[in-house]
Amino acid sequence: MRQINATVSITLDGVVQGPGRADEDTRGGFTHGGWGGRYNDEVMGREMGKDMATPTDMLFGHRTWTDFTTVWGSRTDDNPFTAHMNAATKYVVSRTLENADAWQNSILLSGDATGTVAELRAGEGNDLTIIGSASLVRSLHAAGLVDTYTLLIHPLTLGTGARLFEGPAPLTGLELTDSVTTTKGVIIARYTRS
């Protein structure tokens, strides 16, 4: 059986929307996009590199996969994240996407997210990493399918924006297995479902 890890950049008030770029996710009139960039440093790069050192497949929701396709799919730079993202097998969960041909090594998982991901998780293969894809993480969390979380907790509040857990989330115990603080005050906390 595969493990599923969700890696999420999050603010102190739980916002996960648009950490990468101003235009990344403006749904609901969100104007704070790009909030995470100023907190990148060597420590964060090293910690994310550790996560990439073990081969994993990737799991995306439709919206995040489409965004990442335009950002990473055509890049050829020497950034190790580029090589990792393009080489990895990428599963995209969607009820509306017709195919996953826009980004190499992508496989479409059609239908109900929890059902298709539960089948994938039960099979053989590399563990699965979710980056972003908050609505997918919420659905999989509610179904008990997320095994570990890597939260990059940024030292700011935004007041508005989509939160990791909007509405009720099931009671779930988590155990802190590792934490590192970056030079810019981001706490990278790794939790395992207990």
Task: Return the pLDDT at 169.
Answer: 84
Share of the chain above pLDDT 90, in %: 82
Averaged pLDDT for residues 132-152: 95
Phi, psi (5° rounding) for residue 76?
A: -135, 20
Tell me if 154 sits within 8 A of 12, measured CB to CB: yes
Instruction: Please tell me the number of Cα atoms within 13 Å of 78 on its side-chain side.
Output: 0
Would you say the pTM of this structure is higher than 0.85?
yes
Q: How confident is the model at residue 192 (pLDDT cuts 50, 70, 90)?
A: very high
Looking at beta carbons, which pairs linking 95-102 to residues 24 or more positions away fall under 8 Å?
Answer: 95/62, 96/62, 97/62, 100/65, 102/66, 102/69, 102/73
Which pLDDT tens digit goes with each residue over 176-189?
999 999 999 999 99
The pLDDT value given to residue 178: 96
69-116 per-position pLDDT tens digit: 988 777 788 777 788 888 899 999 999 999 999 999 999 999 899 999
Write out the DSSP string of 38-80.
Answer: GG--HHHHHHHHHHHHS-EEEEEEHHHHHHHHHHHTT--SS-H
Per-residue confidence (pLDDT) for residue 16, from 0 to 100: 97
pLDDT of 167: 77
* CATH architecture under which domain 4-193 falls: 3-Layer(aba) Sandwich (3.40)
